[in-house]
């Protein structure tokens, strides 16, 4: 088991725990970290706060729910959203609307 630095925040979600970089407050997260070139990222492995930031990026363009989901899928560089990932993106989208 890895040691979590005392200065790092930890958030616990239904799918697991996320360790944040030292000095970063998860509640004030305002950045979605794009995956490195040539790589994909699974929404099930991204903190919900980051997915909310991503959803807001596309909601602000007046997109439909399906268009936002497709844009989120593309931002994660996935070819398709599995049910688990789709549900997670839908959860982020609902929070982004509030």
Domain boundaries, the chain: 25-97
Q: What is the pTM of this model?
A: 0.85
What percent of the chain is modeled with pLDDT above 90? Answer: 60
Beta bridge partners of 13: 16
Split at pLDDT 50, 70, 90, the class of 4 is: low
Residue 84 confidence (pLDDT) above 60: yes
Cβ–Cβ under 8 Å, residues 48 and 12: no
Q: Please state the length of the chain.
A: 98
């Amino acid at each position: 088991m890895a040691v979590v630095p005392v200065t790092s925040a930890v958030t616990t979600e239904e799918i697991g725990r996320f360790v944040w970089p030292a000095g970063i407050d998860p509640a004030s997260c305002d950045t979605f970290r794009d995956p490195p070139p040539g790589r994909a990222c699974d929404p099930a492995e991204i903190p919900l706060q980051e997915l909310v930031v991503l959803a807001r990026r596309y909601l602000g363009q007046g997109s439909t729910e399906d268009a936002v989901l497709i844009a989120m899928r593309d931002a994660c560089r996935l070819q398709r959203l599995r049910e688990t990932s789709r549900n997670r993106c839908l959860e982020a989208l609902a929070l982004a609307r509030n």
